[in-house]
Structure 1
Amino acid sequence: MNRDQVKGRVEETKGKIKEVAGKLTNDDELELEGKVQKHVGKVQSGFGDVKDDIKNAVDDE
């Protein structure tokens, strides 16, 4: 697991927590912020997955 995968998954988790907290407190701004952060984390971890796949493909050659 590379750095982008770890950071992305951490951001996803933090975003999910903010999203739930926003729902519980009826804070639409916090909920939206959490959704955005969660999706940014998904993109970052996806980027890390691609980097890992490329590295593994090169190592297999």
Structure 2
Amino acid sequence: MSDVNKKFDSKKDQLSGKAKEVEGKVTGDRAREAQGKTQSLMGKAKDKLADAEETVKGVVDEAKDKMKKTSDD
């Protein structure tokens, strides 16, 4: 899954979760509200994971570039 798709998926989960949470509050359905909170938190976790993956990829790419530059000298 590409970085953009991961970000989209995480935002989709956050939005769907928030909608379920609000629906649960309006209808008095605590289970639905909890389900929404859980889904929203999962979306936030996915977002943080995608950010971490991007950071790691950047660090790895930098290290590869430095190693290649050193070996070329």
TM-score range, shorter chain: 0.7 to 0.9
**Percent same amino acid at aligned positions?**
31
**Aligned equivalent of 1:29:** 31
Spell out the pairing of 1:1-20 with structure 2 (5 A cutoff): 2=3, 3-20=5-22
Q: Normalising by the residue count of structure 2, what TM-score does the alignment of the two structures yield?
A: 0.72
> How big is the shift at 1:5?
1.9
**Structure 1: gaps spanning 5 or more residues:** none
Contact residue 5 and residue 46 of structure 1 kept, 8 A? no
Q: Normalising by the residue count of structure 1, what TM-score does the alignment of the two structures yield?
A: 0.84
C-alpha RMSD of matched pairs (Å): 1.6
Q: How many residues align?
A: 61
| C-alpha distance in 2 between matches for 1:45 and 1:5 | 6
Q: Which has the higher contact order (CA 8 A, sep 6+)?
A: 1
Shift >3 Å, 4+ stretches: 58-61
> How big is the shift at 1:53?
1.5
Indicate the SS of the match to 2:28: coil
Contact residue 5 and residue 47 of structure 1 kept, 8 A? no
**Aligned equivalent of 1:39:** 41
**Aligned equivalent of 2:70:** none
